[in-house]
Amino acid sequence: MPVITEIAKNYLIKLPFIKRMAKKKHVTGFNQAEEGINKIFDTYSAFTNFNGKKVIEIGPGHTWGVAKKIKEAGSEAVSIIDIEKYVPDAVLQDNPWLDYIIYPGGEMPLPEEQFDLVLSFTVYEHLRQPETTIRETFRILKKGGLAIHLIDLGDHMYYGIDPAKQFNCLRYGKKTWELMSMNRSIYVNRIRVSGWRKLHQDAGFTIIEEKPHIDEYCQGLYANGKLKYLSNFFPEDRFASNLMLVARK
């Protein structure tokens, strides 16, 4: 059974030697590819400018080049915060302007109202503590500051494999899904559009922009009587494969 296989993988990844092997092969973000860096930078730039602003990017992984473009665009200060160290020491030595923060998740080791912008690109779907992270972003933002996030709402197990399984992660109950994925980089928290809206509003944010991308292929399958598990979700949540969310403190 595929479920049993995925549960086994989820537990095996905790074994130290397998974890080390997986970490060597694991790449987050666009790994400094110029096209990817420009894509992320342009996504943020569509909603703000950086001149004179203090900016923090959450979870860019290996793609630290976005922070460099933000600095070159006139930012007063740029920080990166992540749960693991991805940026090499040599890069940090050559770019002393970059404030690189490693923390274990949860509360951020940062003062209140420090930043004008909090940014992330396909990071929030992986959060194990989304409520805490969103409350923390609200806390560290200055009044009037913006949070800009592109959130991937798809099943990360099936990237480029089967478009009909774009939302396959939604088939399972919470406990089963966690048994299958909680320890792995492919874990997604499965929060949908309405859920992200509520989490931000509950934290005190005002939603400025909420733009979901609709997967028309899966929408068509559903209309033809397939993917029936999606009927458990609100219509606005069923076919959104990613979400561009901009919120103001």
Confidence (pLDDT) at 39:
96
Residue 86: Cβ within 10 Å count: 21
Q: How high does pLDDT run on average in the chain?
A: 94
The whole-angstrom distance between residue 138's C-alpha and the CA centroid of its chain comes to 16
Q: Is the pLDDT of residue 234 over 90?
A: yes
What is the extent of the structural domain holding 39?
Answer: 2-248
Question: How many domains are contained in the chain?
Answer: 1
Confidence (pLDDT) at 222:
98
Alpha carbon distances (Å) from 191 to 4, 11, 151:
24, 23, 10
Give the mean pLDDT of 179-206: 96
Element (H, E) at 241: strand 240-248
- 157 phi and psi, to 5 degrees? -75, -20
pLDDT tens digits for range 81-120: 999 999 999 999 999 999 999 999 999 999 999 999 999 9
Q: Is the pLDDT of residue 80 over 90?
A: yes
pLDDT tens digits for range 128-146: 999 999 999 999 999 999 9
Which domain CATH number covers 165? 3.40.50.150
**Sequence letter at residue 233:** F
Cα–Cα distance measured from residue 64 to residue 85, given in angstroms and rounded to the nearest whole number: 11
Count the helix, strand and coil residues of the chain and give each as a percent rounded to the nearest 5. 45, 20, 35
The whole-angstrom distance between residue 168's C-alpha and the CA centroid of its chain comes to 19
Confidence (pLDDT) at 13:
85
Q: How confident is the model at residue 22 (pLDDT cuts 50, 70, 90)?
A: low
Residue 147, beta-bridge partner list: 118, 247
Reported as half-sphere exposure (CB side, CA atoms, 13 A), residue 28 has a value of: 23
Confidence (pLDDT) at 181:
95
